[in-house]
Structure 1
Amino acid sequence: MLSQQQLATMLSLQNKMNTKVNDQWLTAGYGYLRAAMVESVEAIEHHGWKWWKAHQKDLPQLQMELVDIWHFALSACIIDYAGDIEAAANAISAQLAQSQPRVQFDGKDYTPDSQSLLDNLELMTGLCAAKRFSVPLFMHIAEQCEMSGEALYRQYVGKNVLNFFRQDHGYKEGSYIKVWHNREDNEHLVEVLATLDINSTHYSDDLYQALKHRYPN
């Protein structure tokens, strides 16, 4: 389960990233749930769905797709509450407090607990196509992908902060150095995340500073 502090941190980071891309993003009309729908379809591909051929579920790729979907879902939620981060965090927290998640779609009730991962991914895809998103459904899918709320938080913040770090250090201009001390920045990120207190109120700032300390001058 995600805490109120974790939700507020992620929503704030998402707002900050979107603003960096376009300071008018709230009213730009971007299709965030369309993007989440596409990522959901890609997750289905990583799961495997073709009954006429052998396949193996790619769990790491599924988890990466979920982190991407979460970026878009948070963006859509911030828009729903006109940029009010606290209200968005409260709304998500209220959804997570549901005792048993139920989803109504196309006049039918669905219980994610009783469905397979593949069926839940398909349901999430349909909801996104209809411009809707169910946080309880998403979190149940994350559990089915062996991803806890803590893991989602860590991976989300890690990817978001690394994107900021790259932009601040010349990624767009082509001067960013991706390989430090014979290792890619993603590898440094994983190491740094393992050393930080996930419950810190300055978690994202601590991460940024740790990356900065390692980055070659």
Structure 2
Amino acid sequence: MLYEDLKIVTKSLGFLTIEDFAKYIGVTPKDVLAWEENDEVPYTISLIIHLLKGEKSLPNNSTLDNLVEECLPLATLLEEASSFPHKLEEMFLLQKELNDSTNGKNWELGVNKFDKEINWLRCIHMEVAELIDSTPWKHWKNINSAPDMNNIHVELVDIWHFLMSYILQETNVPKAVSLVNTHCIYEANEDIDVKAMVKEAEKLSYISLAIQTNNMPSFSGIERFIDQFFRCCKISGLSFTWLQKLYIGKNCLNKFRQDNGYKEGTYKKIWDGKEDNVIMVDILDSMENVSFEELYGKLKEVYEKL
């Protein structure tokens, strides 16, 4: 945004001078002088003007209109981002609770309550394979099929379960939230490049294998993992908001499975011809706000009718 545009905009917003506007938003006259000398206004100030524009009309100005149009997605994303730390903490606490329930206390030491080894890295590797199998990657079979994007998103959520578990194995909840928080602010792609998505997903397997074979230090591997995971979410069109919603749903479904004989082999995974994952997503679509307890109740209601 140019300084000349700023002068026009601030007057239309009711400020007599740019100095009055600067005082209102809490910047110094020295800052204003720097804008004038460079004939350029900082992006943050442009965003403030966009917010103020919602209250007052502005003159027909194509430069400003273009700026506002560019700001809208970012403004929405930044507003959502303010809740991300809370959502991350909720997810990490739910994951720890699920792991405590399923594997017993001190699962972070790498062994569950049945004295069976826990290998989160292998879990991630296997889930990546399932994600890739949801795309028409095979050159000898169904080569013109469309990728199953709904299932790809579910597989990414499964990877997220195991990645969070691995992070919690190496650190704690506050540190985990701090490590992940800055990676959550992104705009998910609308146009999906399936080949690129598969290549990016495979990199998660490479990181898993590199750590497991001692070719990458564990902690730096975590940082690489987090960055690569959200790159996969972005390229597959999975927003952080929908990731969080799906995670609550899948976490709830995992708890429901455990409570209904999953470990013993008596749980029914197919519900009236559909996999329970599909039923869970259908229920999520009908819920405006995700509640673990409410979703659990709805799953129980459907399951008892089978």
Give the match for residue 21 of structure 1: 102
Query: 1:69 aligned to 147, 155, 159, which one?
Result: 159
Give the match for residue 144 of structure 1: 235
Give the match for residue 39 of structure 2: none
Alpha-carbon shift at residue 166 of structure 1 (Å): 3.3
Can you give the 5+ residue segments of structure 1 that lack an aligned partner in the other structure?
99-114
**Compared CA separation, residues 118 and 169, structure 1 to 2 (3 A):** closer
**Compared CA separation, residues 97 and 80, structure 1 to 2 (3 A):** farther
Work out the percentage of aligned pairs sharing the same amino acid. Answer: 31
**Compared CA separation, residues 46 and 189, structure 1 to 2 (3 A):** closer
Aligned residue for 2:133, secondary structure, equals helix
Determine if the alignment matches structure 1 residue 197 to structure 2 residue 289: yes
**CA RMSD for the aligned pairs?**
3.5
Moved more, 1-10 or 167-176: 167-176
Q: 1:131-154, CA deviations, whole angstroms, 9 ceiling, x for partnerless residues?
A: 234223212212222222122112
CA distance in structure 1 between the partners assigned to 2:139 and 2:272 by the alignment: 45
Determine if the alignment matches structure 1 residue 163 to structure 2 residue 254: yes
2:134–2:152 CA contact under 8 A, matched in 1:
yes
Alpha-carbon shift at residue 46 of structure 1 (Å): 2.7
Alpha-carbon shift at residue 38 of structure 1 (Å): 2.0
Can you give the 5+ residue segments of structure 2 that lack an aligned partner in the other structure?
1-80, 112-117, 187-194, 212-220
Query: 1:124 aligned to 196, 204, 222, which one?
Result: 204
CA distance in structure 2 between the partners assigned to 1:179 and 1:42 by the alignment: 18
Alpha-carbon shift at residue 116 of structure 1 (Å): 2.1
- Tell me which structure has the larger Cα radius of gyration: 2
**Compared CA separation, residues 58 and 170, structure 1 to 2 (3 A):** closer
How many residue pairs get matched?
Answer: 196
Give the match for residue 59 of structure 2: none
CA distance in structure 2 between the partners assigned to 1:55 and 1:182 by the alignment: 25
CA distance in structure 2 between the partners assigned to 1:91 and 1:171 by the alignment: 32
Moved more, 7-16 or 166-175: 166-175
**Compared CA separation, residues 44 and 211, structure 1 to 2 (3 A):** closer
| TM superposition score normalised by structure 1 | 0.71
CA distance in structure 2 between the partners assigned to 1:187 and 1:61 by the alignment: 8
Alpha-carbon shift at residue 190 of structure 1 (Å): 3.8
Give the match for residue 58 of structure 1: 148
**Compared CA separation, residues 210 and 62, structure 1 to 2 (3 A):** closer
Moved more, 24-33 or 47-56: 47-56
Higher relative contact order (CA 8 A, sep 6+): 1
Determine if the alignment matches structure 1 residue 43 to structure 2 residue 124: no
| TM superposition score normalised by structure 2 | 0.53
Q: 1:49-108, CA deviations, whole angstroms, 9 ceiling, x for partnerless residues?
A: 455773533323322221111111000111111xx212211211134469xxxxxxxxxx
CA distance in structure 2 between the partners assigned to 1:22 and 1:72 by the alignment: 13
2:84–2:184 CA contact under 8 A, matched in 1:
no
CA distance in structure 1 between the partners assigned to 2:249 and 2:159 by the alignment: 15
Give the match for residue 169 of structure 2: 79
Q: 1:188-213, CA deviations, whole angstroms, 9 ceiling, x for partnerless residues?
A: 63454222414xxxx32343345456
